[in-house]
């Protein structure tokens, strides 16, 4: 028999005290990254071999812009993140004494420096010169946040030498896509505040900028509202709710990290929880026992909003109104997915409504609901995002609607490949956000992040001009099988694969080399207190979880 240990080689020798990999029998494919390699890879990244030493007791991050709370607090956060241990030794290398952060545009009178927006500028330039000076320049505070994160990743602790080092490096960086999101679902399971914040931290480390919050669904309504305080009676438990205070806390935590929070109130399907509090909102389906009874597996007795009555639009308008005032982002997500027609088809009231309004197909009932709802939300001054379903059904939405593409053949063999949907939807001229190939709640053994890494959102049939309608993508963690015990380690660092795909140049595709950088990123996250799961065999250089 092949004796494994006869073929063991230490790969780590060249990169002391960095991550240690043991080659067993087969050499590891790809090129291991030197310590201090950034994730996601910057657009223009020019590291040199010149090492500078950084002394934790004699290093500062300075900025004129600290009157702006985003810059001020980011500098405080990064000062802590940079030095997880105290140095123990001195080297003869040139010292880097400070990083100067220059931001062109910020409100110098405002302590509250605003919210990130759709298509905010995130560009930055970072120069770490070999004479020991370092400067980070950006137009906006958002660019400064991205640059500080990169700087923090270039710095590393050399365990053997007992010092911190950074290579002289020149970087120019900007995102390939402006919308880089993570979807969390707090309805299938409640996700504790601590986990939501940890996730926002992890997102900022990978330069994600949208938290798509799938707040409510059939299973529960944990979202506390002033307009209808009894809605949280449809939460799992009175403690498993997000109070107004909690919501503000999450929005603020995200803002300080340059992350938008887009709330989703999914209708007209996925509404059984709200139906518990407002039973008249739901359409009675006609099952085996007549009105309001189920016919399995086609429908429950009541499951979708009733599109025929003004009452539905009036109640929902109150909910949308408060939601758009609570969440500062200009966008709200209105769901609109999975409207299964069989319930509506079973209903004589719907048939009557169709006849009265000269509608021939049930899709026109859906269109009626979509139109009225989008108009109502537009009147509130908000912009919206919806899932692709109404568009697939031939419904026309307002031209500025953002459409999320979630369908793919691996989710259901009756669906088509995501590329086919993309080709179809861009022809209608809507802006697109791709999430279909990035349902990270689907798990499997091994390095499954590679599958996510190898997806390119522009890889489908369409003209280049049509492809420019893709503004980004989203990694989704649907909540059926995750709660506070599993969410973070299931999502991270796998979501990092999506982060690099959406941020870095389209030419960054070498997955075998990327794995070493992603593994370093994983160790970095562990060092920062995020319980991210391992993706390779190895050792995090003394920073392993609960070592
Ligand atoms: C930093 O410099 C060292 C040599 O001093 C080199 O081995 C290493 O590859 C450099 N790091 C990067 C990221 O290029
Ligand atoms: C570094 O040393 C200072 C002063 O002794 C101490 O307060 C601090 O907690 C130490 N930091 C770490 C990460 O060990
Ligand atoms: C919840 O409150 C609304 C408005 O105050 C009311 O119309 C509704 O009937 C209440 N629901 C329950 C289940 O009490
Ligand atoms: C329902 O709302 C529509 C549109 O706002 C309005 O034209 C109509 O009169 C309303 N119907 C009733 C019965 O109130
Ligand atoms: C939204 O709510 C605010 C505050 O309650 C109210 O003043 C405003 O009229 C509402 N807007 C609409 C369009 O109903």
| Measured distance CA(190)–CA(252) in Å, rounded | 20
Count the alpha carbons within 13 Å of 178 in the hemisphere toward its beta carbon. 13
| Pairwise pLDDT comparison (98 vs 20), residue with the higher score | 98
Q: Which of 414, 472, 474, 431 is nearest to 214 (CA)?
A: 474
**Cα 155 to middle of ligand 2, angstroms:** 18
- Taking alpha carbons only, the member of 331, 445, 312 closest to residue 370 is 312
The first and second tokens of residue 120, run together, are 């905010």
Using DSSP's 3-state secondary structure scheme, residue 528 falls into coil
Which numbered atom of ligand 2 lies nearest the CA of 86? 1
Tell me, in angstroms, the distance from the centre of ligand 4 to residue 217's CA: 28
- The span from the CA of 285 to the CA of 45, in Å, is 59
In the predicted structure, residue 18 carries a pLDDT above the cut 70: no
DSSP reduced 3-state for 333: strand
236 Cβ closer than 6 Å to some ligand 3 atom: no
Q: Please report the pLDDT score of residue 111 as a whole number.
A: 74
Angle at 209 between CA 204 and CA 215, to 5 degrees: 105
Residue with CA at minimum distance from ligand 1 atom 6: 49
Question: Could you tell me how far CA 216 lies from the centroid of its own chain?
Answer: 17
Q: What is the pLDDT of residues 229-247, one digit of tens each?
A: 999 999 999 999 999 999 9
Q: How far is CA 35 from the centre of its chain?
A: 26
Residue 10 pLDDT greater than 70, yes or no: no
**Which of 228, 231, 273 maximizes ligand 3 atoms within 8 Å of its Cβ, making it the mutation to test the pocket?**
228
31 lines ligand 3 (CB under 6 A): no
| Ligand 5 pocket, residue 380 CB under 6 Å | yes
Q: What is the CA(83)–ligand 2 centre distance, in A?
A: 10
Q: Which of 26, 160, 172, 149 is nearest to 91 (CA)?
A: 160
With bands split at pLDDT 50, 70 and 90, how would you rate the model's confidence at 93? confident
Least confident of 106-120, 279-293, 380-394, 453-467: 106-120
Nearest CA to ligand 3 atom 6: 278
Atom of ligand 5 nearest to the CA of 227: 5
State the pLDDT at residue 413: 94
Q: Residue 225: nearest ligand to its CA?
A: 3
What percent of the chain shows pLDDT beyond 90? 85
Whether residue 181 contacts residue 210, with contact meaning beta carbons closer than 8 Å, is answered with: yes
Q: CB 40: neighbour CB atoms within 10 A?
A: 31
Cβ–Cβ < 8 Å for 395, 367: yes
Ligand 4 centroid – CA 339 distance (Å): 24
Among 1-10, 36-45, 497-506, 536-545, the minimum mean pLDDT is found in 1-10
Q: Which atom of ligand 5 is nearest to the CA of 380?
A: 13
For residue 289, how many other CB atoms are within 10 A of its CB? Answer: 10
Whole-angstrom Cα distance, residue 276 to residue 298? Answer: 20
Give the residue whose CA is nearest to atom 14 of ligand 2.
85
Ligand 5 pocket member 379 (CB < 6 A): yes
Residue nearest to atom 7 of ligand 3 (CA): 278
Ligand 5 touching residue 225 (CB < 6 A): no
The per-residue pLDDT for 6 is 32
Q: 282-284 and 302-305: which strand pairing? A: antiparallel
Considering every ligand atom shown, identify the ligand nearest to the alpha carbon of residue 14 and give its number: 1
The SS3 call for residue 350 is helix
Q: Which ligand is nearest to the CA of 312?
A: 4
Alpha carbon distance 433, 386 (integer Å) = 10
Nearest-angstrom CA–CA distance, 220 and 363:
27
**DSSP codes joined into one string, 404-425:** EE---TTT-TTSPPHHHHHHHH
Q: Express each pLDDT in 193-204 by its tens digit.
A: 999 999 999 999
Q: What is the Å distance from ligand 4's center to 310 Cα?
A: 6
Residue 225: per-residue pLDDT: 98
Query: Is it the case that residue 8 has pLDDT exceeding 50?
Result: no
CA-nearest residue for atom 7, ligand 2, is 86
Gap from CA of 89 to ligand 2 centroid (Å)? 15
* Annotated catalytic residue, options 338, 352, 461, 512: 338
Q: Is the peptide bond between 268 and the residue preceding it cis, with omega within 30 degrees of 0?
A: yes
What is the CA(317)–ligand 5 centre distance, in A?
A: 9
Residue whose structure tokens are 């004589």: 348
In which residue are the tokens 């021939």 written? 360
What pairing do the DSSP bridges indicate for beta strands 383-387 and 331-335?
parallel
Q: Is residue 338 among the annotated active site residues?
A: yes
pLDDT tens digits, residue range 166-201? 999 999 999 999 999 999 999 999 999 999 999 999
Which two three-digit tokens encode residue 348?
Answer: 């004589």
CA 492, chain centre distance (Å): 11
Please answer whether residues 156 and 165 qualify as being in contact, where contact means their C-beta atoms are separated by less than 8 angstroms. yes
pLDDT at residue 397 in the model: 87
More confident residue, 93 or 267: 267
Note whether 127 and 134 are within 8 A (CB).
yes
Could you tell me the pLDDT band of residue 320, with boundaries at 50, 70 and 90? very high
Residue 51 Cβ contacting ligand 1 at under 6 Å: yes
Q: pLDDT at position 453, please?
A: 98
Spacing, Cα 232 to ligand 5 middle (Å)? 22
Closest atom, ligand 5, to C-alpha of 379? 13
User: What pLDDT does residue 91 have?
Assistant: 80
What integer best gives the mean pLDDT of the chain? Answer: 93
């Amino acid at each position: 028999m092949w004796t494994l240990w006869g073929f063991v080689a230490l790969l780590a020798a060249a990169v002391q005290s960095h991550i240690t990999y043991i080659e067993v029998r087969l050499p590891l494919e790809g090129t291991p990254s030197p310590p201090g390699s950034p994730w996601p890879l910057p657009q223009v990244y020019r590291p040199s071999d010149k090492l500078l030493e950084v002394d934790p007791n004699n290093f500062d991050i300075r900025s004129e812009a600290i009157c702006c709370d985003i810059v001020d607090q980011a500098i405080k956060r990064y000062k802590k993140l940079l030095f997880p241990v105290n140095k123990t030794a001195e080297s003869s290398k040139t010292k880097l004494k400070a990083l100067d952060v220059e931001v062109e545009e910020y409100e110098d009178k405002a302590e509250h420096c605003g919210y990130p927006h759709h298509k905010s500028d995130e560009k930055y330039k970072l120069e770490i010169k070999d004479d020991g000076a370092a400067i980070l320049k950006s137009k906006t505070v958002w660019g400064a946040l991205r640059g500080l994160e990169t700087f923090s990743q270039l710095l590393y602790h050399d365990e053997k030498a007992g010092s911190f080092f950074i290579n002289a490096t020149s970087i120019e960086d900007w995102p390939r896509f402006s919308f880089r999101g993570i979807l969390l679902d707090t309805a299938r399971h409640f996700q504790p505040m601590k986990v939501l914040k940890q996730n926002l931290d992890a997102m900022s480390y990978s330069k994600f900028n949208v938290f798509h919050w799938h707040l409510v669904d059939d299973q529960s309504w944990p979202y506390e509202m002033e307009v209808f305080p009894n809605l949280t009676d449809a939460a799992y438990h009175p403690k498993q709710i997000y109070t107004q205070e909690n919501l503000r806390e999450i929005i603020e935590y995200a803002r300080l990290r340059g992350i938008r929070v887009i709330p989703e109130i999914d209708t007209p399907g996925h509404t059984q929880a709200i139906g518990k509090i407002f039973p008249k909102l739901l359409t009675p389906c006609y099952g085996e026992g007549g009105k309001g009874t189920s016919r399995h597996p086609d429908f429950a007795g009541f499951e979708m909003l009733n599109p025929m009555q003004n009452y539905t639009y009036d109640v929902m308008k109150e909910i949308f109104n408060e939601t758009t005032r609570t969440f500062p982002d200009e966008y709200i997500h209105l769901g609109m997915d999975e409207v299964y027609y069989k319930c509506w088809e079973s209903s004589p009231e719907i048939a009557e409504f169709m006849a009265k309004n000269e509608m021939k197909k049930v899709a026109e009932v859906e269109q009626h609901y979509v139109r009225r709802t989008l108009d109502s939300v537009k009147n509130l001054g908000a912009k919206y995002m919806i899932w692709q379903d109404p568009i697939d059904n031939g419904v026309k939405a307002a031209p500025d609607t953002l459409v999320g593409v979630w369908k793919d053949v691996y989710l259901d063999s009756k669906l088509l490949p995501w590329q086919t949907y993309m080709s179809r939807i861009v022809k209608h001229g809507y802006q697109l956000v791709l999430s279909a190939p990035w349902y990270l709640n689907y798990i499997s053994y091994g390095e499954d992040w590679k599958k996510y890494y190898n997806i390119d959102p522009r890889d489908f049939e369409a003209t280049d001009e049509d492809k420019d309608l893709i503004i980004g993508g989203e990694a989704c963690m649907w909540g059926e099988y995750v709660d506070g015990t599993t969410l973070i380690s299931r999502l991270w660092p796998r979501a990092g694969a999506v982060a690099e795909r959406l941020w870095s140049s389209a030419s960054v595709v070498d997955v075998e080399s990327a794995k070493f950088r992603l593994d370093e990123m994983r160790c970095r996250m562990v060092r920062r207190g995020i319980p991210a799961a391992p993706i390779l065999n190895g050792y995090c250089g003394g920073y392993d979880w609960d070592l």
